[in-house]
Structure formats: structure tokens, C-alpha cells
Amino acid sequence: MVREGFSVLLGAQPGIEVVGEAVDGEQAAVRAARLRPDVVLMDVRMPGTNGLEATRRIAAEREEGGHPRVLILTTFDLDEYVYEALRAGASGFLLKDASARQLADAVRIVAAGEALLAPTVTKRLLAEFTRLGAPRAPRMDRIRDLTERETEVLALIAQGLSNGEIAARLTVSEATVKTHVSRVLVKLGLRDRTQAAVFAYEIGLVTPGGSM
């Protein structure tokens, strides 16, 4: 019922076409490989193969164009699973109580190659991961190839700031921020802003609820 509801909501949005549904993670991975959608809206807990494993499989089979991208649906009680899903290759996450407009906007954001990284949700998510045993000691050797400004931009990404917000914080143009973000991703071998944020927390560059 919930799955069909999401399908109806998304199908009614301009520019969005629902090309398939799946009852579990196994079916999701198989259909994603066959249908090649731009975005897969993935639950975490499902019968059989869960959303985490399905996300890992879908991410591993991505074509050069970077599709399909995975958008995780979650509730706060599944934070640790969502964190692992992001590491597995998901491009973002959305709360299950999101409105139809928020859902459609999230799909478009992820389809465009951006990461869905809501600051309040991200901080709570990564705080939970830290509680479960994230590294505490900074591993600055892993970002030695970044410039001082690129390191600063990475930290701000991890705090959930958009390019526009980073530009305002650093008093530079948004185009300059986009260039810094691109260089950070290339130098660190990361796929998108979501991976960059997770990476920054993992190495101890920033801490949940804190800063550098």
C-alpha cells in the first residue's frame, strides 16, 4: 500500500515517470539493472534482501553515466542502516513522512547528480553513527592532497551547507565553490557530496554537531 502510494504520488508529478516497482531488495536490484531508471527510491528494511544490500549491488553495477542513483527512504530509528547505505553508494536519504512535493524534489535533485543532504537529518544520522563507534582521532593524512580552502569546503559540505551557503560563508562566488567541490571529489576519488560528507566524518575532519 505504501509503495503504491509513493508510485501514484510520483507519477502525478511533472517530468517524473515511474517505470517499475519492487517488493524486496532482490527484485529492486534485478529491475534496476533491467530498466535502468535515473533514480531508485529504496526502503531499508524489506523481506529477504534488504535495501542496504540492494543499494550496494545497484551502485556496483552503475554505468559510466552514474545511473541509477539510489535515494533511501528512512525513519530515524534506522539511522545506522542508512549510514551504511550511504557508504554502499546511496546518493541521499529522505524521511518517510516527507510531503509529495518534497519527495518529487528529492527525486529530481538526485536525478540531476546532486546529493540530498538535509543538514538536520544528516547531523542526527552521523551522531548516531559516532555513538556506535565512528573513528574519533582525525586522519588528516587522507586529505594531504587538498589545499587549505578545499579542506574548508569539504568541512562545510559535511555540515550540510549548499554551494550558495558555502559561497556566502567564504565570501566567494558560487562558481568558485563548485570548482572547489569538483576538485575535492576528484582528488579524494569520491562520487558526490554525500560521500564527501561521510568521508569527512569518518576521518574526523568534523564531528556531529560540531565543526573542524
What domains does the chain contain, in order, with CATH numbers? Answer: 1-116 (3.40.50.2300), 134-203 (1.10.10.10)
Residue 133: the pLDDT is 55
* E-state strands within 48-173: 69-74, 92-95
Whether the pTM exceeds 0.85: the reply is: no
What SS3 class is residue 152? helix
Residue 16: the pLDDT is 92
Report the C-alpha gap between 102 and 108 in whole angstroms.
10
% of the chain exceeding 70 in pLDDT? 79
* E-state strands within the chain: 39-42, 69-74, 92-95
- Cα dist. 151→53, 113, 158, 174 in Å? 31, 22, 11, 17
- Region 77-89: mean pLDDT is 67
